[in-house]
Amino acid sequence: MTQSLSSQTLLPDRAAAGRSLVEPLLKYAHRPEVIVLALPRGGVPVAYEVATALDVRLDLILVRKLGIPQHPEFAMGAIASGGIRILNEDTLRAHPIAPAAFDAVVARETRELLRREQVYRATRAPVQLRDQVVILVDDGLATGASMRAAIDAVRLQAPSHIVVAVPVAPFETVETLRCEGNEVICPLIPDWLMSIGYWYNDFSQTSDEQVIDLLQRAWRRESASGSCCGEHSDA
């Protein structure tokens, strides 16, 4: 399911973007088997609003884009926890990369992925996803490489259902993900996508401190509620 808004629509900020996803996801509210997984860092403020409004659990799926060395904004692929690697063959054909340069990018992004895992999660055990309904949330998609890596990482744990929920993405990316068998929620599907940030009034960088604060707030809510979240929590 997708919803297409006017291509002139601008999202105020990531929190508002998250709230725009709530109504299409209401069928998942208050369900103990549902968990929202954010793609840090920018996806965390979006996912926090979704998980809070739906009263479901919030956690992370660690993914890193593999940017072309000379043009880091262009994704030649992505990696995710669990050794998942997705390559964008079209980008690699258009911008051939020497093996040593490719390996250097992978090594650098792997170090950052591990750093974030330690900083954000600390001693909290990874959530178990078998038979769970997983809602993957980011602040937007361009090529979709990072989201595809996240989907592959999640599928390794045999969830019952995967939903991709993002505020903005181009039509081609949405259709590709949907054709791969995923449920896709995307309120804003512009005719063209110069960049994700173009469709936000405020697209300032999300800091590690903001990510940690939002996660801690969500996890405290889960512990305090002891209802939908407590039954399956891995805290």
Please say whether the dihedral angle defined by the alpha carbons of residues 12, 18, 24 and 30, taken in this order, is positive or negative.
negative
Fold that domain 14-62+128-225 belongs to in CATH = Rossmann fold (3.40.50)
Measuring CA to CA, which residue among 146, 147, 134, 197 is closest to residue 168?
Answer: 197
d(CA 189, CA 172): 10
d(CA 159, CA 130): 5
Residue 234 has pLDDT above 70, yes or no: no
- pLDDT tens digits along 16-63: 999 999 999 999 999 999 999 999 999 999 999 999 999 999 999 999
Residue 210 has pLDDT above 80, yes or no: yes
Q: Residue 5: CB partners within 8 Å, gap ≥ 6?
A: 187, 188, 189
- pLDDT tens digits along 177-200: 999 888 999 999 988 888 899 999
128: three-class secondary structure by DSSP: coil
> Residue 130's pLDDT is what?
96
> Residue 15's pLDDT is what?
98
Measuring CA to CA, which residue among 187, 196, 152 is closest to residue 50?
Answer: 187
- The beta-carbon contacts of 218-224 under 8 Å, at least 24 apart in sequence, are 218/48, 218/51, 218/52, 218/57, 218/58, 219/58, 219/124, 221/52, 222/57, 222/58
Identify which has the larger pLDDT, 226 or 57.
Answer: 57
Q: What are phi and psi of 86, to 5 degrees?
A: -115, 130
> Residue 8's pLDDT is what?
55
- pLDDT tens digits along 57-110: 999 999 998 999 988 878 899 999 878 888 888 888 888 889 999 999 999 999
- The reported pTM is 0.86
Distances from the Cα of 67 to the Cα of 27, 32, 39, 108, 154, angstroms: 36, 37, 17, 11, 22
Q: Residue 84 forms beta bridges with which residues?
A: 80
Q: What are phi and psi of 172, to 5 degrees?
A: -60, -40
Residue 171 has pLDDT above 70, yes or no: yes
- pLDDT tens digits along 107-164: 999 999 999 999 998 888 888 999 999 999 999 999 898 999 999 999 989 999 999 9
